[in-house]
Chains A and B, each alone.
Chain A
Amino acid sequence: MKVLSLVPPKWRFETTLALRHLITGGGQTLLTIGAVAAGVIVIIFLTALIFGIRLKLTNMLTESIPHVTVRVRETEPVPLSELQDLGSAMSSSRIEKQAPQLKFIDDWQHVVDVIRTIPNVRVVLPAIQGQGFASKGANPIGVTITGADPEEQDQVSPVTKDLIAGKYIGLASDEVVIDYELAKDLAVSVGDRIRVNSSAGNSESMTVAGIYSRGQGRGGAYVTLRTAQSLFGMGNSVNVVLVKVNDLFGSDKVADQIQNLVPYEARSWSREYPSFVSSLIVQSASAYLISAFSLIASSFAIASVLIVSVLRKSKQIGILKSIGATRSQILRVFTLEGIGIAVAGSVCGAAIGTLIVYLISLPVQSTARPGHAPDQLFPVAILPVYIFGAMISAIFATLVASWFPAQQAAKMNPVDVMR
């Protein structure tokens, strides 16, 4: 064994014996390695599936929405009685909220500059969002109109990526990009003209420059910022500033920082969709819990196999002690055996687990969004961090499991076991 010459002489006896135990252990060694590998496979498979679904859902939800939306704060109506001490004077108990209005962010250039200084912010996009109608001939259909610079808009809520016909980048002021469902309802295709009316009452005739499909929502229309400003009569202003961040789950912090810096309301996507975020947390927690249980289960299997192995070798331990092996040498033999099993099991588990995850990532769904390739049936994510995490946790669990049998071996009294 040439490899053993790399081991320091002080550990060579222990390493040789541990290796021989593993090699001559045959089926028992394979069984123990299998128990560790099974634990690692379960963890890799489970985390790949759960975090794959989580990533897919989060991307689906957040890729087409801004992570933080900055707008003018809606003032909440307050009863007069709460503002002034009116004594027993008559006061209306019916509180009615003001109808939504387009509220301008006049100093948006300053707001954009300030937000860009905040860490984790990737894109800041001044835009106009409002309601309106699109029509071709009769039957106007409600649309959500977004006016923004197409290149920047693509970084916040990608349109070009989802285009199934036409273009978005290089949109002219009399052009509009609409979604597939709206195009179907209006029975229009690229190059046709439609009329767009804004809630502010202005109307313009526009050419359909592109049609997109996101597989969710309907009635979206994208125009240039200039066109939207004219449609909504907003002059040089905007009514929202859209922010995209690098770390999705840090968007709450960014929103809080924005609110501290500018006098507007900033809402993060996770606060807009609290139940979604909570379901993600539940998913992750379940993945960790199941992983922990599978590790505990395989640890017990490993510990019991090693205990049996120690008992079977008790005579050998006795003879080793009688010819001068110290307690710590015996402890090292069985700990090294545990390390060998842990490393071999976790490497095999990682290889098999990754292969299984790769294989289940291949099947695709039978249906697809119009103009798009079909999605994966199992949206798994092969994440090296979880593969290494699974290996390290399995190694740790195996070492904990082998500690007790190793201690038991080290404590054996040769006189007792060789009687």
Chain B
Amino acid sequence: MTATTEPRNQIVVETCGLKKTYFGKIETPVLHGIDIEISAGEFVAIIGQSGSGKSTLLNILGALDVPTEGSVLIDGVNISTLSEDQLAALRNRVIGFVFQFHYLLDELSCLENVLTPLIIHKGEVTKDEEERVIALLERVGLGQQLHKRPDTMSGGQNQRCAIIRALANQPKIVLADEPTGNLDSRSGDEVFKIMREMNRENGVAFIMVTHDDRLAQEADRILMIEDGWVHEVDKNEHRMKLLNSLKDW
């Protein structure tokens, strides 16, 4: 099954026949052959029921896991050919992650957390890089929270901080696994708005797993995973479904 649109730009994520099976006590096939292409600057929502394989796909696209079969090209590089350290470097420089929980380091301040990917890469941060990151934090309303620890900030502020951390190394792709799932609707909307703005302003491709059909409707494309297979959802149909469900409600 292929779900692609006309490439507007350079393709940053490309999978071909991607299969994933977990070999535990029993063999559990999760992804059955996924072919997707995502271009730079696209905002793609991945929807699907719990256990359908959304997170597995996101982990593979984020080079945190490897496929059992098929190929995954991230920024043109086949991740199966990379060593563990090369995969780490790819995650550091090409990919950014936003999780349902912010997973900021409690020991570090908001600014230090955001600078962590840069420090992991080079051990130090230039003045320009620090200024750029501070500007991003100010842009998302965290100018007053730079030196605060995560445990003194609200859930929404922490998640915004996590988004800027994902963007700190100027990646080509940001993978977001239910980034608003743990927030109230107001904070969730704010976080989504910021992600969308960052996507438009910086030309970073966003791939967001979500259960929220309303947010998915705001994406450029919607991919649905069902029983390990992926297909593209027509946004108009999705809108109609959404309106109907709102009417029923």
Give residues in A with beta carbon < 8 Å to B: 8-13, 16-17, 20-21, 23-24, 315-316, 318-329, 414-415, 418-419
Provide the bound-state CA to CA distance between A20 and B149, in Å. Answer: 12
B interface residues, how many (CB within 8 angstroms): 31
A325 with B88: CB separation less than 8 A: yes
In the complex with contacts A322-B91, A326-B85, A415-B59, A21-B107 CB distance below 8 A: yes
**Closest Cβ–Cβ distance, residue B75 to chain A (whole Å):** 14
A415→B103 contact, CB < 8 A: no
**B contact face: mostly helix, strand, loop, or mixed:** helix
Q: What residues of chain B lie closer than 8 Å to A322, measured between beta carbons?
A: 62, 64, 91, 97
Cβ-based interface call for B157 (8 A) = no
25 residue pairs A–B, Cβ–Cβ below 8 Å: A9-B124, A12-B119, A12-B123, A12-B124, A13-B120, A20-B107, A20-B108, A21-B107, A319-B99, A321-B91, A322-B62, A322-B64, A322-B91, A323-B91, A323-B92, A323-B120, A323-B165, A324-B93, A325-B92, A326-B85, A327-B88, A328-B85, A415-B59, A415-B65, A418-B99
Instruction: Return the chain B residue nearest A24 by Cβ.
Output: B107
The 8 A CB mask of B85-127 against A (1 = contact, 0 = none) is 1001101110011010001011110000000110111111000
CB pair A10–B88 under 8 Å, yes or no, is no
Classify the interface of chain A: helix, strand, loop or mixed.
helix
How many residue pairs between the two chains, A and B, have CB atoms under 8 Å in the bound complex?
A: 79
Are A315 and B107 in contact, with the CB atoms below 8 A? Answer: no
Alpha-carbon distance A243/B64, docked complex (angstroms): 76
Name the residue on B nearest A5 (C-beta).
B124
In the bound complex, CA of A325 to CA of B165 (Å)? 14
A412 to nearest B CB, angstroms? 12
Residue of B nearest to A319 (CB): B103
B84 contacts partner chain A, Cβ-Cβ < 8 Å: yes
Inter-chain pairs besides A325-B120, A327-B88, 12 sampled, C-beta below 8 Å: A8-B123, A12-B119, A16-B119, A20-B107, A21-B107, A315-B103, A323-B91, A324-B91, A324-B117, A325-B88, A415-B59, A418-B103
Q: Which of B49-71 contact A (CB under 8 A)?
A: 55, 59, 62, 64-65
> Does B103 lie within 8 Å of A316, measured CB to CB?
yes
Closest 6 CB pairs of A and B: A324-B92, A9-B123, A20-B107, A319-B103, A12-B123, A326-B88
